[in-house]
């Protein structure tokens, strides 16, 4: 398709944050370079240039910065940090991504990003509630929904445990489990998060992993065992929950944030054999594989939001200069709910 543009592509320049070297541990400001005055890229057929308005801050971004093979190629040195976001199309060579429309895709940590027509660039039309989309209706909600409904097969009366329950994915997963009639126990870090889970999200119980013995508390709170564990963190918390599985439990491996900053492979769960004793199942999944259900799941979650059955919390950071700190907040547990960056 012939190029259409709403901005002066010659004179407009880009601002971006590129990877300078592979991080060890938390991402350091020196691992990236903040560049300004960068010429805009040329568009190939099927591509559009978006002016990024909002970025989502997702734990998986940290995995893309390491060299180890993941489900997407590692971000190359010198490339903008890959990240989800929503932007307005300002130039296009893609029939399906018209000028002025908002597009949800992976524009990266930059003011102007290229998105490509295909499953990873969703045309949202001219108007959209971008924060709600990033916090609930997009990948975060899809992950929570698929994990609870399809992989965990949560049913009425199940006892469900969710780790990082006050985080973006966990808070939605825990609420979906409640909406399916489960008894839900959240694990989180800190008394204010415990309060949020109990009073605002209506969970049945919450464990403060920073001040309580998670293993002992699971025993007290789940005397009949855990039917479904939605795991966002891996590590010692996964080990603790494996000791409390009910017969035919489902362990849903959504993420393992406790290991993303490690440069060495951590030891596996020492008590995985509990899966045998309890005839239990442990299964990983990626929301990426379920992107064709974006519309269907967004409709269900949107209805629950409108009916007041689902709630979310935003933690808004400002500008590209806040990106490193925003990503690290997921690992220090400073966030409650979804972190987004407004550009």
Ligand X SMILES: NC(=O)c1ccc[n+]([C@@H]2O[C@H](COP(=O)([O-])OP(=O)(O)OC[C@H]3O[C@@H](n4cnc5c(N)ncnc54)[C@H](OP(=O)(O)O)[C@@H]3O)[C@@H](O)[C@H]2O)c1
Q: Is there a contact between 219 and 199 (Cβ–Cβ < 8 Å)?
A: no
Our CB check for ligand X shows the closer of 99 and 149 to be 149
Q: Binding to ligand X (CB under 6 A): which residues in 189-228?
A: 189, 193, 209
Q: Among 5, 14, 198, 331, which residue sits at the site for ligand X (rule: CB under 6 A)?
A: 331
Our CB check for ligand X shows the closer of 130 and 257 to be 257
- CA–CA separation, 25 and 317 (whole Å): 22
Q: What distances in angstroms separate CA 109 from CA 8, 60, 77, one per listed residue?
A: 21, 14, 14
Among 142, 189, 119, 70, smallest CA distance to 296 is for 142
Q: Among 15, 170, 218, 242, which residue sits at the site for ligand X (rule: CB under 6 A)?
A: 170
> Residue 138, interface with ligand X (CB under 6 A)?
no
Q: Is there a contact between 114 and 91 (Cβ–Cβ < 8 Å)?
A: no
Residue span binding ligand X (CB under 6 A) among the ranges 34-42, 78-86, 220-228, 282-290: 282-290
- CA–CA separation, 161 and 173 (whole Å): 10
> Residue 272, interface with ligand X (CB under 6 A)?
no
Q: Is there a contact between 161 and 313 (Cβ–Cβ < 8 Å)?
A: no
Q: Among 18, 154, 335, 343, which residue sits at the site for ligand X (rule: CB under 6 A)?
A: 335
Residue span binding ligand X (CB under 6 A) among the ranges 43-51, 124-132, 213-221, 326-334: 326-334
Torsion, Cα of 156, 157, 159, 160 (10° steps): 10
Our CB check for ligand X shows the closer of 193 and 278 to be 193
Among 56, 42, 59, smallest CA distance to 85 is for 56
- CA–CA separation, 84 and 238 (whole Å): 28
> Residue 237, interface with ligand X (CB under 6 A)?
yes
> Residue 135, interface with ligand X (CB under 6 A)?
no
Tokens, residue 86: 């929503």
| Burial zone of 300 (CB within 10 Å; 0-12 exposed, 13-18 middle, 19+ buried) | middle
> Residue 122, interface with ligand X (CB under 6 A)?
no
> Residue 84, interface with ligand X (CB under 6 A)?
no
CB of 84 to ligand X, least distance (A): 10
Distance of CA 304 to the CA centre of its chain: 20
Residue span binding ligand X (CB under 6 A) among the ranges 199-207, 222-230, 255-263, 298-306: 255-263
Q: Among 113, 255, 274, 327, which residue sits at the site for ligand X (rule: CB under 6 A)?
A: 255
- Count of residues that interact with ligand X, criterion CB under 6 A: 30
Q: What distances in angstroms separate CA 42 from CA 10, 89, 250, 322, one per listed residue?
A: 10, 14, 48, 27
Q: Is there a contact between 113 and 98 (Cβ–Cβ < 8 Å)?
A: no
Residue span binding ligand X (CB under 6 A) among the ranges 57-65, 218-226, 263-271, 302-310: 57-65
Q: Among 84, 143, 274, 322, which residue sits at the site for ligand X (rule: CB under 6 A)?
A: 143
CB of 130 to ligand X, least distance (A): 17
Q: Which residues bind ligand X (CB under 6 A)?
A: 58-60, 143, 164, 166-170, 188-189, 193, 209, 232-233, 235, 237, 254-258, 285-287, 330-331, 333, 335
């Amino acid at each position: 398709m012939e190029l259409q543009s709403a901005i002066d592509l010659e004179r407009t320049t880009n601002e971006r944050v590129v990877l300078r070297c592979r991080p060890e541990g938390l991402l350091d400001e020196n691992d990236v370079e903040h560049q300004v005055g960068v010429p805009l890229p040329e568009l190939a057929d099927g591509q559009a240039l978006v002016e990024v308005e909002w970025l989502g801050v997702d734990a998986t971004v940290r995995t893309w910065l390491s060299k180890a093979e993941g489900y997407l190629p590692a971000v190359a040195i010198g490339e903008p940090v890959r990240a989800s976001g929503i932007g307005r199309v300002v130039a296009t060579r893609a029939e399906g991504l018209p000028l002025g429309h908002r597009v949800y895709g992976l524009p990266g940590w930059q003011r102007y990003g290229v998105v490509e027509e295909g499953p990873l660039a969703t045309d949202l039309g001219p108007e959209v509630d971008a924060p709600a989309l990033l916090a609930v209706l997009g990948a975060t909600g899809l992950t929570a929904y698929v994990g609870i409904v399809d992989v965990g097969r949560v049913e009425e009366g199940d006892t469900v445990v969710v780790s990082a329950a006050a985080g973006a994915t966990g808070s939605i997963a825990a609420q979906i489990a409640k909406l399916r009639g489960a008894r839900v126990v959240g694990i989180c870090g800190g008394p204010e998060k415990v309060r949020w889970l109990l009073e605002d999200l209506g969970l049945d119980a919450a464990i403060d992993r920073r001040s309580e013995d998670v293993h002992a508390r699971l025993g007290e709170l789940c005397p009949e065992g855990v039917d479904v564990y939605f795991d966002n963190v891996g590590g010692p918390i996964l080990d603790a929950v494996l000791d409390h599985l009910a017969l035919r439990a489902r362990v849903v491996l959504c993420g393992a944030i406790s290991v993303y900053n490690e440069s060495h492979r951590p030891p596996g769960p020492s008590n995985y054999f509990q899966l045998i004793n309890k005839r239990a199942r442990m299964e990983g999944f990626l929301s990426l594989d379920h992107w064709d259900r974006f519309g269907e799941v967004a409709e269900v979650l949107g209805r629950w939001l409108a009916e007041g059955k689902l709630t979310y919390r935003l933690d808004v950071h400002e500008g590209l200069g806040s990106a490193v700190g925003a990503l690290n907040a997921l690992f220090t547990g400073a966030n409650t709910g979804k972190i987004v960056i407004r550009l």
